[in-house]
Structure 1
Amino acid sequence: MKLEKILEQIKNGEIDLETAKASISSMGYTPVSEIAKIDTCRRHRTGIMEAILAEGKKPHDVVDIANVQITATGRVLITRIGKEHKDALEVSFAPEQIDWSLNGTTAVVHNNTPVTRTGGVVAIITAGTADIPVAEEARMVASEMGCDTLAIYDVGVAGLHRLVGEMHKLQERRPDSIIVAAGREGTLPTIVSGLVDVPVIGLPVSTGYGAGGKGKAAMFSMLQSCSVISVVNIDAGFVAGAFAARIANTVAEARKQSGDCE
Structure 2
Amino acid sequence: MRELLEAVAEGSLSPAQAEAELAGYVTDDAGRFDATRRQRRGIPEAILAEGKSPDAVASLAATALETTGRALLTRLSDEQFQVLESSLEDVEDEATIERWSTSALVRSSTYERSSLEATVAIVTAGTVDGPVADEAQVVCEDAGASVDRIDDVGVAALDRVLDQADRLRAADVVIVAAGREGALPTVVAGLVDAPVIAIPVSSGYGHGGDGEAALAGMLQSCTVLSVVNIDAGFVAGAQATLIARAVDRVAFSGNESDPADDSDL
Q: Which interval holds the TM-score relative to the shorter structure?
A: 0.7 to 0.9
Q: Tell me by how many angstroms 1:90 deviates.
A: 2.3
The residue aligned with 1:106 is 103
Q: Distance in 2 between matches of 1:125 and 1:17?
A: 46
Decide whether aligned partners of structure 1 residues 66 and 209 sit closer, same or farther in structure 2, where only a CA change above 3 A counts.
same
Tell me the SS of whatever aligns to 2:175: strand
Q: 1:256 aligns to what?
A: 252
2 CA distance for matches of 1:159 and 1:96?
43
Q: Which runs of 4+ in 1 moved over 6 A?
A: none
What does 1:1-12 align with in structure 2 at a 5 Å threshold? Answer: none
Residues 82, 18 of structure 1: CA spacing in aligned structure 2 closer, same or farther, 3 A cutoff?
Answer: closer
Asked if 1:54 corresponds to 2:54, the answer is no
1:90 partner SS: helix
CA shift in 2, pair 1:194/1:30, >3 Å: same
Aligned to 1:4: none
Change in 2 beyond 3 A, CA 1:202/1:241: same
The aligned amino acid for 1:37 is R
Q: Alignment partner for residue 119 of structure 1, among 117, 120, 137?
A: 117
Deviation digits for residues 18-51 of structure 1, max 9, x if unmatched? 5599577435210012x31110011011111011
Percent identity over the alignment is: 47
- Say whether residues 1:86 and 2:81 are aligned partners: yes
**Structure 2 residue matching 1:257: 3-state secondary structure:** coil
Q: Does 2:36 match 1:37? A: no
CA contact (8 A) 2:19 2:25 kept: no
Alignment: residue pair count: 242
SS at match of 1:203: strand
Q: CA RMSD in A?
A: 2.2
Deviation readout 1:227-256 (Å, 9 max, x if unpaired): 000000000000000001101110111121
Please tell me the residue identity of whatever aligns with 2:116.
T
Structure-2 separation of matches of 1:74 and 1:126: 31
Q: Secondary structure at the match of 1:240?
A: helix
Unmatched segments (≥5 aa) in structure 1? 1-9
Report what 2:215 is aligned to: 219
The 3 A distance-change label for structure 1 pair 64 and 259 is: closer
Q: Cα 1:160–1:117, aligned 2, differ >3 Å: closer, same or farther?
A: same
1:128 corresponds, among 126, 129, 138, to 126
Conservation of the 8 A alpha-carbon contact between 2:19 and 2:26: no
Q: Which residue of 1 aligns with 2:184?
A: 188
- The match for 2:175 is 179
Q: Which residue of 1 aligns with 2:261?
A: none
Asked if structure 1 preserves the Cα contact closer than 8 Å seen for 2:176 and 2:196, the reply is yes
**Gap regions ≥5 residues in structure 2:** 9-17, 257-265
TM-score normalised by L of structure 1: 0.86
Q: Could you tell me how far 1:163 is from its partner in structure 2? A: 1.0
| 1:65 and 2:63 are equivalent in the alignment | no
- Higher RCO, 1 vs 2 (CA within 8 Å, ≥6 residues apart): 2
Which whole-Å CA distance do the structure 1 matches of 2:21 and 2:81 have between them? 33
